[in-house]
Amino acid sequence: MNVRVARAAWARGCVAGCRRGASDLPLPPPRAVDVAELLRDATAAEEVPREAAARRPPGQCSVLLFPGQGSQVVGMGRGLLRYPRVRELYAAARSVLGYDLLELSLHGPQEALDRTAHCQPAVFVASLAAVEKLHHLQPAVIENCVAAAGFSVGEFAALVFAGAMEFSEGLYAVKVRAEAMQEASEAVPSGMLSVLGQPQSKFAFACLEAREHCKTLGIENPVCEVANYLFPDCRVISGHLEALQFLQKNASRYHFRRTRRLPVSGGFHTRLMEPALEPLAHVLKSVNVKKPLVSVHSNVDGHRYAHPKHIPKALVQQVVSPVKWEQTMHAIYERRRGTEFPKTFEVGPGRQLGSILKSCNLQAWKSYRHVDVLEDDGT
C-alpha cells in the first residue's frame, strides 16, 4: 500500500464505511467496512515504508490537531457543508446517534449543545468534517501528514483520521463515553478551573489544601487535582465545586495570576469519572483497532502509540487521567536547532489548540493554520 495515497484516500474509505455500517447494521455498536480494506483497494501501488515518508523535508510535512470538549459553538459545520461527503458524515452520525446532530450543531440551542452527551459527538464529527474540507482544498496536507493528536475526545477523531478505527465505531464509542461522563458528572457537584500561574505557583500544594478544606466541610474522599497540562505555568484543575471555590478565593496564596471556571458539567479527567470506565471499556472491546497510518499521540503520556493493543487501554485510562497536552506538544515538535517545523492544522471548532501551541512553541506556531468550521474561508 502506498502510504501517501492511503492517507489521501482516508475520507473516501471512512465515509463509505460509515455509510454502509450505519445503514446495514444494528446498534450497539455499528460496525463499518474495514477502512484498511478500503485503503488497500484505493491503490495497487507498491508499498512505501513509513521511514521513506519520514525522509521528506520537515517543512513539507504536516501535523493535525483535533480539539476537545469546550470548543463547541452553535453554527459549527456551516462552513463545511458544500464540501464532498460532509453531509454524508452527518447522515451517518444521525444513524449512529439516533438524533439530528447537524441540526443541533447548526441551530442549537447552545444549552443543549453544551451538554456533555451532545458536545463530544458534535466536536468529533465537526473535526472529521473539517478534515474533509482540508482534504478538498489542500490534499497535499493530508498526503504529507506525519502525526496527529487530539485533546481528550479529540483523540478519538485523531485515531479515526489515522485509520486506527472506523468512523461509526469511533462515534459510537464517543457516544457511550459522553453519556457515561454526563451521568458521572451529575452524581457529584464538580467542575473544572483554568489556572494561569507563575513559575513559583504551587499547584500540587494548592490542590492538597483544597482537599483538606473540603474535609472540614464533611466531604469524604474529596477530589481536587490537575486534570490538564496545557502550557508552562497553565493548568486546569478538576474536582469538587467546594475545592474549586476555595482555590479561587485563595488564588494569591498559591501565586495564581488568573482563575476561570470552565463551562463543563463535571470534574473530568479525575477519579470522579470512574463510573464511565466500564461502559467505555465494554464498547471498545468490540472495536477493531488497527495500526494508525500516521503517528497518533496519547493524552495519557504524550507518546505516540507503539502498538494497536495499547489504544483501547489508554482511551479508557484517559477518562480518569490528566491530559498531558504540553508534553504531547514537546514530543511532536522537539527537533534540532535549525530544523524546519511541519505545518500544523487545527481541524475542528475553535482555535484553543493553536493558542496553546503558541505558548508551548512559538516557532512551531508560526506554521499553524486553522480550518474554520463556521465560515467557508477557503483555508
Q: How is 208-236 classified by DSSP, letter by letter?
A: HHHHHHHHHTT-SS--EEEEEEEETTEEE
Q: How many C-beta atoms surround the C-beta of residue 24 within 10 A?
A: 12
Q: Report whether 335 contacts 341 (CB < 8 A).
A: yes
Element (H, E) at 186: helix 167-187
Class of domain 3-184+273-371: alpha beta
CA distances from residue 127 to 43, 108, 131, 356, 373 in whole angstroms, order as listed: 26, 18, 6, 18, 8
pLDDT < 50 regions, the chain: 1-9, 11-13, 15-54
| Grid-cell match 494548592, residue found | 206
Q: Which CATH number fits domain 189-265: 3.20.20.70, 3.30.70.250, 3.40.1130.10, 2.30.29.30?
A: 3.30.70.250
> In which element (H, E) is residue 192 found?
strand 190-196
Q: How far apart are CA 74 and CA 59, in angstroms?
A: 35
Tell me the angle at which helices 352-360 and 325-333 cross, rounded to the nearest 10 degrees. Answer: 60
Distance between CA 225 and CA 322 in Å, rounded? 9
pLDDT at 55: 61
Q: List, in order, residues 6 or more apart from 218 with CB less than 8 Å away.
A: none
- Per-residue burial over 126-135, b if 16 or more Cβ lie within 10 Å, else e, is bbbbbbbbbb
Of 46, 45, 38, 50, residue with least CA distance to 9? 38
Cα dihedral 288, 294, 295, 296 sign = negative
SS3 257: coil
What the block records as the C-alpha cell of 265 is: 458539567
Closest CA to 62 of 305, 323, 369: 369
Active-site residue, selected from the candidate residues 269, 297, 298, 370 = 269
Distance CA 7, CA 146 (A): 10
Tell me if domain 3-184+273-371 and domain 189-265 are identical in fold.
Answer: no
Rounded Cα gap, residues 276 and 318, in angstroms: 11
Q: Which three cell numbers stand for residue 17?
A: 464505511
Distances from the Cα of 59 to the Cα of 5, 63, 100, 172, 355, angstroms = 19, 11, 40, 36, 21
Q: What pLDDT score does 378 carry?
A: 67
The secondary structure of 60-101 as a DSSP string is G-EEEEE--TT---TTTTTTTTTSTTHHHHHHHHHHHHSS-H
Q: What is the DSSP letter of 140?
A: H
Cell of 167: 468512523
Radius of gyration of the chain (CA): 20
Q: Which of 62, 152, 168, 190 is catalytic?
A: 152
The Cα angle at residue 240 between residues 235 and 241, in degrees rounded to 5: 90
Burial class (CB in 10 A: 0-12, 13-18, 19+), 205: exposed
Domain boundaries, the chain: 3-184+273-371, 189-265
Question: Is 194 part of the annotated catalytic residue set?
Answer: no
**Residues 6 or more apart in contact with residue 358 via CB below 8 angstroms:** 365, 368
CB neighbour list of residue 362: distance below 8 Å, 6 or more residues apart: none
Q: Which residue has the cell 480539539?
A: 67
- d(CA 225, CA 223) in angstroms, rounded, equals 7
Does the active-site annotation cover 152? Answer: yes
CA distance to 250, 252, 287, 289, per residue, from 310 (Å): 40, 41, 13, 10
